[in-house]
Structure 1
């Protein structure tokens, strides 16, 4: 059975979250398409907020898994 591909906007969000939670700059956004860029930036913002709240390292990975399960 073929595996379904995940939604590209969801993938952009998760990649942005990973950048944000590790403290990387939002200027590193690799997307040019408006909708994908917006999803990446939303993920980045949420990742930065989690970084400020103390979700770093292993805790950040667990938080990412929670976000992935909900979405």
Structure 2
């Protein structure tokens, strides 16, 4: 059985989360589409919040 690709919005959120944990700026969002960009920024916010509260040691 083939694995389906993840939803594009899920992927945008995940990439934003990784960027937030990694300390990248939100200005580096690679998406132009409003839906994808808002998902990326939501993930970025959660990643930054997790990093600030000490959940990640990066």
TM-score by length of 2: 0.92
Aligned residues, how many?
A: 58
The structural deviation recorded for 1:3 is 1.2
The answer for unaligned runs of 5 or more in structure 1 is: 61-71
- In the TM superposition, structure 1's runs of 4+ consecutive aligned residues that sit over 3 Å from their partners are none
User: Could you say which structure has the higher helix fraction?
Assistant: 1
Give TM-score scaled by structure 1 length. Answer: 0.76
Residue ranges of structure 2 left out of the alignment (5+ in a row):
none
Supply the distance in 1 between the matched residues of 2:19 and 2:53 (Cα, whole angstroms).
15
User: Whole-Å Cα distance in 1 between the matches of residues 19 and 11 of structure 2?
Assistant: 12
